[in-house]
Amino acid sequence: MKKTALLFIFFSAILFSCEKNNDADDFILKFYGDAYEDIGYSIASADNSYFITGQFTQIIRNVPNYISSSSKKMAVIKVDNDGNTIKKTSLGGKLAAVGAKVIILSDGSAVAAGYVIDSVTLTKDIYIVKLTSEGDPVKEKIFAATGNQYVNDIVRTEEGFLLLGTTDVKRDNSTEGFGNAAGKKDVLLMRLNDNLELIAVPTPLGYVGNDEGVAIKPAVNGGYIVVGTTDRSDKRVAADQAGTNIFLFRVNSDKTLTEVAIIGGPKNETATDFEVTNEGYLIAGSTGTEGTDQIGCVWKMPVDIFAMPEFSREIDLNGEEVANVTYSVKALCKYKSSSYLLAGQHGTGLSSRMLIFSIDAYGNLAQDKIKIAGGTGTQSANDVISDESGNIIAIGRNSYENNSMITFLKFRF
């Protein structure tokens, strides 16, 4: 059955063009994509350019303005400093695919990671691609397994790469804190060499229930820290813990789990990103329930992850040119010398917009440093980075009805 693309034409008219430029006050806004779903999930900075990864919907048209078929593909876009496209690539071969994270290597090349969807079982398998500095794919690898596995983050290591993933495969062990039922989420760490080959068989980690890591970074005193969300509570830490909470896993340099801590309170706490400081770890996320009372929050943890948080601060945007509505935080990055940027979604549904704002090292909202961007439809900022000149670059999505496009936003406060 042929599907009309006239709605996409209307959507494009609303956005003015697929790559519309608005340079007033150092403000650049661009869009990439076609009909149906195109979403940006991650952005990384290279020399005078950026790499973006996410999802393209590959469209086949038999005649103009009519779509005969479509499929999701991992999107990798290389753009210049102003967001102008240098190279667009759709990856995944014959399989549906999505990119979750992109990093830049020392030689300017890139690595993008996400997942593909098996055409028979419809389950997710981890997918990773190496690209040249120009954005051309040179090597790709699919790690097929039972159940669902997908990538949340990736870091460069001395032996190659360390993937932070999620798996829902049954973990056989009846001891509390080790076993898990099929369909429940566990953290998955995968060690790869430079050729994207497994160095060791990955072992799922987590409690009984759902545990999902969102970010991994080198720890202050060696090894790595994984931060994520768990439906586990630790009443020894806080008697009022309930719902979902935040976990920190400390991983040795040999990639073995050594320490686990859980923080949280009576609300649903959800981690989305974190940054490493000299004194510990600044975690960003949200508290509350999506669409009702959700609000951004930051937690400052010392180097000793078993110690109490130095602070836990919900960030109220009221009175800062922002109406009293719910919002969520999806990404965190360093900003200038001692500040941080948080990015996410302000509002819900058709009233949601891209949100970027700044806080200081103590979680206090910076005055006059809030940006809400968007128009008709649904918008969200899924990742954010900044540079030494104070430029802020966010990537996300802009949706209208059944269509969405990858959004690139660059500006200064």
Residue-level pLDDT at 10: 38
Q: How confident is the model at residue 374 (pLDDT cuts 50, 70, 90)?
A: confident
Burial of 281 (0-12, 13-18, 19+ CB in 10 A): buried
Confidence of residue 12 (pLDDT cuts 50, 70, 90): very low
Average pLDDT over residues 237-253: 83
Under 8 Å between Cβ of 238 and 264? yes
Say what the alpha-carbon torsion angle 26, 32, 36, 40 is, to the nearest 10 degrees.
Answer: -70
Distance CA 185, CA 169 (A): 8
Task: Name 122's Cβ contacts closer than 8 Å, sequence gap at least 6.
Answer: none
Choice between 180 and 105, residue whose per-residue pLDDT is larger: 105
Q: What is the CA radius of gyration of the chain?
A: 21
Residue pLDDT, tens place only, 218-232: 999 899 999 999 998
d(CA 74, CA 412): 29
- The 10s digit of each residue's pLDDT in 268-296 is 999 999 999 989 999 999 998 887 789 99
Q: Where are the domains of the chain?
A: 145-314, 323-413
Q: How far apart are CA 169 and CA 162, in angstroms?
A: 20
Q: Provide CB contacts within 8 A for 403, sequence distance 6+.
A: 7, 8, 11, 35, 36, 37
Q: Which pLDDT value is given to residue 317?
A: 87
Q: Residue 259's pLDDT is what? A: 87
